[in-house]
Every structure is written in C-alpha cells, then in structure tokens.
Structure 1
Amino acid sequence: MAVLTDEQVDAALSDLNGWKREDGALRRSIDFPEFLVGVDAVRRVAQAAEQQDHHPDIDIRWRTVTFALVTHSEGGITDKDVDMAREINGIVGG
C-alpha cells in the first residue's frame, strides 16, 4: 500500500466534508450536542474500525470528538485512511 501524494490527499479532501490534513494525518473534529451522543458515535466508529481492521486515533474532550487517520505502518496517509474517513462521515454525518 502506497502513501498518497499531497495532490492525491488534496483531491480526496475535496470529497471529505469536515476533514483536513494536519500533522501528517487526516483529522476531523465534531461537536456533539451532548457528551453521551459523542461517546455513542465513537462506539459506532470503533465497530466499523474493527470490521475494516483500520483504527483511527480518537480524542474525546467533553462534547468534542476528534478522529485522526494515518497508516502508521506505511508512514503516511493511504487509501485506507481516506476510506475510513468516508466511513466515519457515513456514521456521524458529513
């Protein structure tokens, strides 16, 4: 699996509502209306991540959840990260 070029990442980001490239990863922060709504979204994303065997870094700060995607074994952003970002958008809206 190849690391995507900057141009490929930029092209993918045009179709990934809410995502940006930051610190070598794809990131999206979402403000949920309540803490438990955010935690439930994390649970649903975790289930999808297990099915795909590709796990985002997840940070929960009260009602704000941040997802970060990078393929650590490849040293950068790959198609797996783009696919998982699309999956997350399907789960949480986007």
Structure 2
Amino acid sequence: MAELLSDQELAEALTHLPRWTRAGDTLEATAALPTFPAAIAVVNRVAEIAESVDHHPDIDIRWRKLTFRLSTHSEGGLTAKDTALAAQIDEVLDVSSATPS
C-alpha cells in the first residue's frame, strides 16, 4: 500500500510538475494537442503506461484537449503513485507537442 503524501511532500513534488495542480485529493493537468488524432495517440500511450504500473488516471477528452486527474482512491488521497504517473504523463505530453491549457 502507498502512503499518503504530506502537504509538504506534495508541494515539493509539484515544483517538478508545472502542468499539474492540486484539486483537493486529486492532481489535475490539462493539455491541448495539435490534432484530435494526436490527442488520442497520447491517451493510448498513457493507457499503456497506466496498465504497466497498475495505476489509472481519469481522462477527459474534448476534441484535442485532454484533462488528466490522478488520485490513489484505495488510499483516499494523493500518493507517490500519483506524482510518478504525473511525471510519466508529462513525458508523453512533451514528446507530443502538447501545450498547457
């Protein structure tokens, strides 16, 4: 089981995750991709990563705009699983020429 991050630990992690903001017990990031197929390609890559680490984000798809939400529901909040997956999502977005929305 993953331990919940303290407010200080989360604040430190977010300094390395500029796309992401805290919304209660959730981390959230939104990015715009150049095209709808590019957005779906990002979703597919994130799905592969999420399956490999057995930690799955909520993903909202609006044409070429994607919103990701992360929380460790089994722990009732935010853990290192969330910040680690956020960093991996950022890597996918960086390669895909996404812009913050």
CA deviation map 1:13-34 (0-9, x unaligned): 0001211101321111001111
CA deviations 1:27-69 (Å, max 9, x no partner) are 1100111111101100000000000011001000111101111
Instruction: Give the TM-score, by structure 1 length.
Output: 0.95
Aligned residue type for 1:46: A
Following superposition, the deviation at residue 71 of structure 1 comes to 0.1
Residue matched to 1:45 = 46
1:47 alignment partner, SS class: helix
SS at match of 1:65: strand
Query: Who is 1:70 aligned against?
Result: 71
Instruction: Report the residue type matching 1:5 in the other structure.
Output: S
Q: Note the 1:15-94 alignment, pairs <5 A.
A: 15-93=16-94
**1:7 counterpart SS class:** helix
**Structure 1: gaps of 5 or more residues:** none
One-letter code of the match for 2:45? Answer: R
Aligned residue for 1:17, secondary structure, equals coil
Unmatched 5+ stretches in structure 2: none
1:11 equivalent in structure 2: 12
Backbone CA RMSD of aligned residues:
1.2
